[in-house]
Structure 1
């Protein structure tokens, strides 16, 4: 080999080092971003099912999957209004169907060459979230580098990459939600504003340049300020509630312009940035207004452009006021006082003149930005609740990086005292970071925003340490040779301080361990079968009752509600459930829920589920159909609302799961009252030979519509019938949980179907319940517990009226009752008995309304339900009548058609006197109702069926033990 090719020319070594110093951060950032993508896609296979159905990790993810599919069908448009949720009004989707969905569909269009398949769209959707998370490293690095140089920027992206908690949880594969896009675009908006402020401080734009139209001098600051406004607009297009950043910027510009004036610097420079950037935002956000009169923050209305315009105008006004202050030779220190007074006056006038706008601004501040003043219902939303211990929370999220961030903020604030220049971007980061800390203390989810400040400000912390210890980290040979031992120790300690709490062995929970556990949400898996049944076995929306209007409700159609709510065609119907499950009903069942995770109609759903009688429950549903407010109304007020109202927009189905009857019930009560405590009392239960008090539910809980339907199989109700139950079963009752003794919680069984093991545990729990005993055979103590299908679906029907009469001569009709019962079987094989009773009239006539048919002559093609719960025989009707000669028994049998049930027809029955009274027990013939969850629970010996049950308990189940069934940990409640 020639020695010429091996010779290193003079200066080459220096050139290589300089190139390395200038560009080494790029491969570092690339490696970090690849690590972030890998970290978040470890569980990808769990979200790809064999049958191709979606499997997602969050409730809101399902609705984004809906809006993504809608956008793909209507590209490039996004969904403005949704008729497939919020029955009977529909709803503007607001923060769904935004730029976030459009970006994902655009990527899928590119990958799919303009026509992506469903599989391509799903794969792109899954991978887009980890990729967006990795892209956050770009604004974080460059913002960090502005505060702490290249080393500081690298520290920032490492803090970002190794963080666990909210940001990681919301950016793993399967989390198809806009949260990660919020973080990305907020980071871009803050970075763009930092650059624009620095450019303005350098170029010094003033009013005279604007007046002289000196565009050459104004070009550079205008371009950068306009880009900052565009970045802020994109953030708002991702999430309409990003208007909160406009509020933060309003505080920043107020502080910075005041500081500039006090320091003798013209406020024009920074005011120019505020006026141009927020002006651009005002114009661009006005293009997306969907509801001009709406002042809410979660949809595109007048709030976003109006607040942006007010801040832009405020910047111009403060610059003008500073000039007037100078012209009048007023003391500078009073300038901020005057500004504060004017702001207070503005809010006072807003409160008087535009109270809705004032309430929106203050409401958003108290709900999202300050840790006090929120509503009681906010605490029922898991992600919107405040952390129990803020300091423990931030340490779990960021380790000690949170505290070094606080030190970095102090270093930024005291820069003038250290003789270093204090730039406007430093004040921006200070104000922004303080608000993010407050937001994270207000709502748990906002920790994903706080991570931006933690990562970026740590660059300033590192930069101060580097300068304090005279560390030369430029990368030259001379700098490397000059490093002292103590400086190496300092670097090592800083690295340990920042990263050791996030890494093994100190970290008990690491980012990769947390990401590896990502799996489809249990609720979506549990509800999938019931929603599929609902889609296949109920009429298409618009076809109920034989109507033929389903074509008017295209699942991917565009709807315009006009000036009011959407007017649904005849044959439309809604589904009642708790708001948590609304998106699942929309996407999995393609049916229209009444309430949804927008918290739309949460008050009315709560009022219905906690109603203390069937009469009140019916009045609430009628009030909903009439378009009235029902949550806080008496029965008389509800009757007034529904009087004279005739509508086909009815809620026809009710879906309830174990969590609603268990841990979520407390949250349900918060929306309509009375509070949870009115449903709970302490009761004596026995465990072994000892007796003690444990919290359990009282009669108020048992009388709720939810309990009457779900735990009692609609026993004694006239217009509700069970039409389907899932083949997964749960235990619902009092039990010990991680939070202590819970009067109502739930735990799933690892059994599918109504098996002998399921029957066995049901028998044992029934025995314990009937004897006020605590059962300890499940690995945890449980009491007053039931075995129930995880999800039950009920239908609301008119009910058939069974009528008849008996001869009243010689009998006391005033004290006589008539009862009827029918045995029913679900498609899982579980049997139970429906019972109903009524008083006998003086003339011997009676009427009993029942919701179940004894045949299934109608189905989906006829516009009705193909129920999976069927009668095993006819109705048995009986009466026990006291008379002069003792108790007289009457018996009869009735066949009830499906037509009679859905149309409210009358069915006549003939009762005949039973002559052999000794062989007939009156309680058996009258259909004496059972209060058990299902009719086949047995007594303590497991052999004899309880009164009114079907007596179908399998004897072989008596030898099964509860220990053979392993309970799954109870899910946390919203």
Structure 2
């Protein structure tokens, strides 16, 4: 039997034989071949991410922000971005886990390739390929970790499992996924491997306190060197991802367990404590140097990283000292672990009293990241940060049977002492680390990419023990081949089938192998949908700093460096963009404008408060409170007025809303400020098969929200908002059935249903038919197999401008008493968007007893101002060039007049006077004709389109009721 388990520690005689040399080095070409496969399979869709005009096309929202930090680092090399003023308006933000060693490494490679001055094309190419390259590099530490546990064969099995795993690790390391996740996996694996080596060397060299006191450098040199290297590896991991402080906690648990086990077995805890003190001490020093954001946030380089490392280092020294004191006092060894647990509990109590912020951070990360106990509201609105609904089912989908053989491997490691075999400290480390990887994956589904590394590594133990159990000799060489028995071949085949059957065709399910998924990847649909709107915003709005005629754009350099210490003050003419936090990075990178909220979840509460405000007046108070430096949430209007008293020039000027915000993401938007999501929908009876059926649909509370008033009604009836752009691709938005689920808020893009995406005759037909179905409380059938009710055809992204609004004033002399006592004045203008969709804006107001009136309107009838003047080039035009102003009932005597409303009056809040004449008001219903013949013709064409759409019925996507900008998955965004 041979598994070559001790290869790394046992020498052998050198042989000139080619076969024996091959037996010693055969793993190197195998590692190389696996790495090449891992790189190739992840780059199959490379061409989809390279556009003809050089515009970036990336997968996932966070990828766009890494592209931002990579560009910034390239312009400011070797510095990385510490503080960002192009997001989180009006405060800016510490970017934390962006602008780290991950970005710096990518730019460094680009600098080498570009000979010190990489072109944008070179930088983009290197950025795209760096992710698959890092994924391939993960195979190196995984091999050596597996080799330490199960010999060379075990190491090879580990990297093959890693290479064939088609789940989160694979999807997050594809070309186009410009995100730090794969960097996390790489540097975590290096850190764990380095710690494995360090504790093994310490066990062999046995450093103790007396050697330190005697300064015996020869005896301490090797364990000290490997301990320092382990500390540096951990520091590099933290430098890639500040939240890697979780690994410090995992190492802390390992040292508590291992030192306790050593003491119980009569082994000096000094050996392993030496490693813990030095390695974590080094980490504390390095992470102190990295501090950028003094505070206790785990997502930025602050106090948490060095303090936790220092606590673990000090804890190791304390446990070693306590063991010596325990011996000196003659206490029973069995109570030593109990004392340690009690001291840890007391220490946490002291921390809670003395440093509550650090305590809250540590406990919050334990319950929200390490253990599935108490996820926060913010985490629950991120799709990738939610716990999996069915953990074991998800694990099998990700790893196949390899997940269960990994559990068997862990059991075999734990059972080693009971089987009379050696239990090394590095084995304990792997058990503790792997169990925490399982727990983290059960806490947040995104951590499956971490679990993939643990699954690959621990399977080396399973394979090695199977080989040992059946006395298999599978080393390369003719002698070992001749000695294999039939039953041993059968065992080998069974092991191979068990590990790899669910990962290889034809036994794998359709489209689940790595090469199939690698072929089917492409740029993020959501990001590319927003690109049209953001590019319009970049070209048709003033640069931040130039709004309203200010000339301060030079003070907001897109690649500039800013000091947050005293609080950054935006210059006059700067402005923010209101949207949901999912899209903040896209607004920053694609539009080069400053979003209020972002995937760091900064300002998510105030964005939610604004979008769910139940009146325009309340929405305005919220924006004024934001301009005053406040963070409004669910305050009363009176409280908001008080908060807004110190409002400055730092205002939100634009609002961007997409079909997903009005659809599946609305439930997440409502969670942040309340009321609960159920407040926004109810049950309505609809005609189904000749009878009535109660179906969930948006209610009046939903349609009263600021978001719905803007997105669904084009700001109709609002005074300070106007539509200035909409995308020329459309979606069905509203209540519909997806699979077996009845959704009160959902959206389906035309592109997903095989429908012409632009505003066309088909889109108009669908819109008219849906409107008729809504009016009759009927279900609309036949689009992509998704029955719809209370649904509309709406542009995928709409952009609104916040303006002062022009006040139309006038006076009528009702000598003939043709008006009712409660007469109202109505102003209407017909408008057309750039894609060709028309709609009517209407505003009403009461007529005073003296016949005077005034009403405020946000739409202009001309384009006298534009970007050069510091304002907006609106793409929404007034068709007739005038507002129609009327008082009275249609078909009866009343008053009528027309007036132009200039762009200047709209943006500056000027008044416009209109003269009205007494006339008989036209009754539009009197001129109605039967247009059913034409409609029938259109409907027939629509049905033909529906037949094509029906073919895509199986193209159903994942549940979209929670955020995840990457569909990450997204959007994966993970940034809390």
Give the TM bin, normalised by the shorter chain: over 0.9
8 Å contact kept, 1:761–1:962: no
Q: Deviations over 1:865-909 (max 9, x none)?
A: 000001112011111189xxx964011111111111111111111
Partner of 1:461: 462
Q: What's the offset of the Cα at 1:452?
A: 1.1
Partner of 2:35: 33
Q: What's the offset of the Cα at 1:958?
A: 5.8
CA distance in 2, matches of 1:387, 1:924: 59
Partner of 2:142: 140
Partner of 2:966: none
Question: Tell me, what secondary structure is at the counterpart of 1:87?
Answer: coil
Aligned ranges 1:26-175 → 2 under 5 Å? 26-175=28-177
Partner of 1:961: 942
8 Å contact kept, 1:366–1:373: yes
Q: What's the offset of the Cα at 1:607?
A: 1.1
CA distance in 2, matches of 1:909, 1:137: 75
Q: What's the offset of the Cα at 1:189?
A: 0.2
Partner of 1:791: 797
Aligned ranges 1:221-240 → 2 under 5 Å? 221-240=223-242
Aligned ranges 1:541-552 → 2 under 5 Å? 541-552=544-555
Partner of 1:516: 519
Partner of 1:214: 216
CA distance in 1, matches of 2:493, 2:397: 22
8 Å contact kept, 2:575–2:652: yes
Aligned ranges 1:468-487 → 2 under 5 Å? 468-487=469-488
Partner of 2:528: 525
Q: What's the offset of the Cα at 1:955?
A: 10
CA distance in 2, matches of 1:536, 1:665: 29
Question: Tell me, what secondary structure is at the counterpart of 1:621?
Answer: helix
Q: Deviations over 1:144-166 (max 9, x none)?
A: 00000000000000100000110
Aligned ranges 1:132-531 → 2 under 5 Å? 132-292=134-294, 294-508=295-509, 509-531=512-534
User: How many positions carry a matched residue from both structures?
Assistant: 934
Is the alpha carbon distance of 1:35 and 1:81 closer, same or farther for their aligned partners in structure 2, counting shifts above 3 Å?
Answer: same
Q: Does 1:844 align with 2:851?
A: yes
Question: Tell me, what secondary structure is at the counterpart of 1:960?
Answer: helix
Q: Structure 1 length normalisation: TM-score?
A: 0.94
Is the alpha carbon distance of 1:13 and 1:91 closer, same or farther for their aligned partners in structure 2, counting shifts above 3 Å?
Answer: closer
8 Å contact kept, 2:378–2:601: no
Q: Does 1:896 align with 2:901?
A: yes
Question: Tell me, what secondary structure is at the counterpart of 1:732?
Answer: strand
Partner of 2:3: none
8 Å contact kept, 1:746–1:970: no
8 Å contact kept, 1:756–1:956: no
CA distance in 2, matches of 1:962, 1:88: 49
8 Å contact kept, 2:603–2:631: no
The one of 826, 829, 851 equivalent to 1:822 is 829
Moved over 4 A (4+): 11-14, 808-814, 922-925, 941-944, 953-959, 965-972
Q: What's the offset of the Cα at 1:21?
A: 1.0
CA distance in 1, matches of 2:406, 2:66: 34
The one of 795, 802, 809 equivalent to 1:803 is 809
CA distance in 2, matches of 1:703, 1:794: 17
Q: Deviations over 1:315-356 (max 9, x none)?
A: 001101111111111111111111111100010111111111
Is the alpha carbon distance of 1:555 and 1:923 closer, same or farther for their aligned partners in structure 2, counting shifts above 3 Å?
Answer: farther
CA distance in 2, matches of 1:264, 1:803: 93
8 Å contact kept, 1:721–1:851: yes
CA distance in 2, matches of 1:358, 1:674: 31
Question: Tell me, what secondary structure is at the counterpart of 2:672?
Answer: helix
8 Å contact kept, 1:189–1:228: yes
Q: What's the offset of the Cα at 1:807?
A: 2.2
CA distance in 1, matches of 2:837, 2:324: 83
Aligned ranges 1:649-668 → 2 under 5 Å? 649-668=650-669
CA distance in 2, matches of 1:367, 1:809: 72
Question: Tell me, what secondary structure is at the counterpart of 2:888?
Answer: strand
CA distance in 2, matches of 1:680, 1:875: 35
Partner of 2:4: none
CA distance in 1, matches of 2:377, 2:739: 23
- Bigger mean CA offset, 687-696 vs 29-38: 687-696
Question: Tell me, what secondary structure is at the counterpart of 1:768?
Answer: helix
CA distance in 2, matches of 1:753, 1:401: 47
8 Å contact kept, 1:608–1:705: yes
CA distance in 2, matches of 1:466, 1:857: 82
CA distance in 1, matches of 2:698, 2:471: 67
CA distance in 2, matches of 1:634, 1:809: 45
Q: What's the offset of the Cα at 1:746?
A: 1.0
CA distance in 2, matches of 1:741, 1:563: 51
The one of 909, 912, 919 equivalent to 2:917 is 912
8 Å contact kept, 2:654–2:800: yes
Q: Deviations over 1:237-283 (max 9, x none)?
A: 00000000000011110111111111110000000000000000000
Q: Deviations over 1:77-98 (max 9, x none)?
A: 0000000001110000000000
Question: Tell me, what secondary structure is at the counterpart of 2:17?
Answer: helix
Question: Tell me, what secondary structure is at the counterpart of 1:567?
Answer: coil
Q: Deviations over 1:88-134 (max 9, x none)?
A: 10000000000000000001111111111111111111100001000
Q: What's the offset of the Cα at 1:13?
A: 9.4
Q: What's the offset of the Cα at 1:480?
A: 2.7
Question: Tell me, what secondary structure is at the counterpart of 2:621?
Answer: helix
Is the alpha carbon distance of 1:971 and 1:559 closer, same or farther for their aligned partners in structure 2, counting shifts above 3 Å?
Answer: farther
Partner of 1:870: 877
The one of 560, 564, 581 equivalent to 2:563 is 560
Partner of 1:642: 644
Question: 5+ unaligned residues in a row in structure 2: which ranges?
Answer: 1-12, 964-976
Question: 5+ unaligned residues in a row in structure 1: which ranges?
Answer: 1-10, 926-937, 945-952
Partner of 1:931: none
Q: What's the offset of the Cα at 1:64?
A: 0.3
Q: Structure 2 length normalisation: TM-score?
A: 0.93
CA distance in 2, matches of 1:372, 1:313: 28
Partner of 2:968: none
Q: What's the offset of the Cα at 1:12?
A: 12
Q: What's the offset of the Cα at 1:376?
A: 3.0
Q: Deviations over 1:507-566 (max 9, x none)?
A: 1021111121111000111111111100000000000000000000000001111233x2
8 Å contact kept, 1:756–1:960: no
Q: Deviations over 1:747-766 (max 9, x none)?
A: 11232432111111111111
Aligned ranges 1:549-628 → 2 under 5 Å? 549-564=552-567, 566-628=568-630
Is the alpha carbon distance of 1:958 and 1:261 closer, same or farther for their aligned partners in structure 2, counting shifts above 3 Å?
Answer: closer
8 Å contact kept, 2:624–2:647: no
Is the alpha carbon distance of 1:240 and 1:467 closer, same or farther for their aligned partners in structure 2, counting shifts above 3 Å?
Answer: same
Partner of 2:974: none
CA distance in 1, matches of 2:776, 2:478: 83
Is the alpha carbon distance of 1:792 and 1:49 closer, same or farther for their aligned partners in structure 2, counting shifts above 3 Å?
Answer: same
Is the alpha carbon distance of 1:798 and 1:12 closer, same or farther for their aligned partners in structure 2, counting shifts above 3 Å?
Answer: closer
Question: Tell me, what secondary structure is at the counterpart of 1:471?
Answer: coil
Question: Tell me, what secondary structure is at the counterpart of 1:731?
Answer: strand
Partner of 2:840: 833
> Which structure carries more relative contact order (alpha carbon 8 Å, separation 6+)?
2
8 Å contact kept, 2:377–2:671: yes
CA distance in 1, matches of 2:644, 2:291: 34
8 Å contact kept, 2:717–2:844: yes
